[in-house]
Amino acid sequence: MKKELIELRVNGLLHELAIEPSALLLDVLRRDLGLTGSKRGCDDSSCGACTVLVDGTPMLACTLLAFSCEGQEITTVEGISEHGSLTAIQKAYGDWGGAQCGYCTPGFMITVKHLLSVNPDPTEEEIRAALSSNLCRCTGYTQMYQAIKAAIEAEKKGMATAK
């Protein structure tokens, strides 16, 4: 298929790419841009390992055409660290064992980032509901809930200290 030019804004950087109109966003991110943090898990929009933010909304890159994202801001797991340092949730995942094999973790990072951006102080039920879009085959969900709660506490303390 003939390639066409597209401008994609990923993690704040504008890329001009020649891609097939049928190219999936996940393939463009992983193959053309070398951003392999977003994972191909199930490849049929069941598992959430490929979750990225498109204009702030979590989307599954494995079933999304890259061309449909032109002009929108795409954020992958590579783009969520703040000024090169780990965010509270990334640090808490390490402290609480939220990542086991780690393959599903980038998708969870995006989902949690979105949850906390729309709801900075979610209830246990709201955390569980948000995480239902992602699957972890190691089944380490309990550690993830602990990590997320710890990260929220850390953020609150941080904000209190800043005041």
Partner 1 sequence: MPNDQRPETNDYSIIGKSVAMIDAAEKTTGSGKYADDLSLRGMSPASLRSPKRLPKRRSS
Q: Provide the mask over 78-117, with x wherever binding to partner 1 is found by CB under 8 A and - wherever it is not.
A: x--x----x--xx--xxx-xxx--xx-xx--x--------
Q: Looking only at Cα atoms, what is the longest distance across the chain?
A: 57
Q: Does 42 help bind partner 1 (rule: CB under 8 A)?
A: no
Exactly one of 40, 43, 73, 128 binds partner 1 (CB under 8 A); that residue is: 40
Tokens of 47: 């598992």
* Pick 105 or 134: Cβ nearer partner 1: 105
Q: Are strands 4-10 and 57-60 parallel, antiparallel or unpaired?
A: unpaired
What is the rounded CA–CA span in Å between residue 22 and residue 70? 13
Say if residues 108 and 75 touch (Cβ distance below 8 Å).
no
Interface residue list for partner 1 (CB under 8 A) = 30, 35-40, 76-78, 81, 86, 89-90, 93-95, 97-99, 102-103, 105-106, 109
